Amino acid sequence: MLLALHKPYGVLSQFTPETGSKWRTLADFGLPKAVYPVGRLDADSEGLLLLTDEPGLNSQLLDPVNAHVREYWVQVEHIPNAAALTRLAAGVRIGHHQTLPCRVQKLDPTPALPPRVPPVRFRKSVPDCWLALELTEGKNRQVRRMTAAIGHPTLRLIRMRIGGLSLGVLPAGQWRALTPGERALVLAWPAGASPADHANLREQKALKSFP
């Protein structure tokens, strides 16, 4: 069984509440009892979250050696210039980790997205814009730390795609079982990438494991 959930803002990617936490959990969405999330989205992030009862999918989708692509749409403060976007795409230092190269694109025009509940803070004096980032790794709060590293804090973060499967028009808070064709899309190579691209990424990861 493989399910897709549009995780709203303010929901932990787990079924058990944390003591003293203000966040909701996945237990609020009527999901089948046997499933668990494949990976996670932070409580303050939104978008596509997969759930399954198949243990083998965890390593298949999350093991960094598989370089499985995930696409995020990110609303950031101010308007990054070309140099900032080039730096982001080349990889930035976050803590002790150097992020792998990724695909970065400014979304123009601004995507028409439903408002977040609660809404993102708005300051008339501070412009913002949306970026699309394609990553093949998932460090803790990586996207937020990456945009902060180039001086553009994240205001809103939505995971739009895993593998070849997009979030589409699934409403926030709703879930559904994937069809066999959609399951194949989750596990597929990303559009525009070849097995050689993934082999190169795996080689980069192997090299980074040496001192």
% of the chain at pLDDT higher than 90: 74
pLDDT of residue 211: 34
- The predicted-structure confidence for 192-201, as pLDDT tens digits, reads as follows 444 445 444 4
CATH number of 2-208: 3.30.2350.10
- The predicted-structure confidence for 128-145, as pLDDT tens digits, reads as follows 999 999 998 888 899 999
Do residues 152 and 126 lie in contact, with contact meaning Cβ atoms separated by under 8 Å?
no
Closest Cα to residue 6, out of 23, 33, 31? 31
Give the active site residue among 42, 44, 128, 197.
42
Name the pTM for this structure. Answer: 0.87
pLDDT of residue 57: 83
- In which residue are the tokens 């609660």 written? 118
Tell me the residue ranges of DSSP E strands in the chain.
Answer: 2-7, 36-38, 46-52, 70-77, 93-94, 97-98, 103-106, 128-135, 154-162, 165-166, 175-177
Burial class (CB in 10 A: 0-12, 13-18, 19+), 40: middle
- The predicted-structure confidence for 77-94, as pLDDT tens digits, reads as follows 999 999 999 999 999 999
Under DSSP, the state recorded for 24 is B
Whether 42 is catalytic: yes
> Would residue 87 be called left, alpha or beta, if left means φ above 0 and alpha means ψ between -120 and 50 degrees?
alpha
pLDDT of residue 6: 98
Rounded CA gap, 62 and 17, in Å?
24
Domain ranges of the chain: 2-208
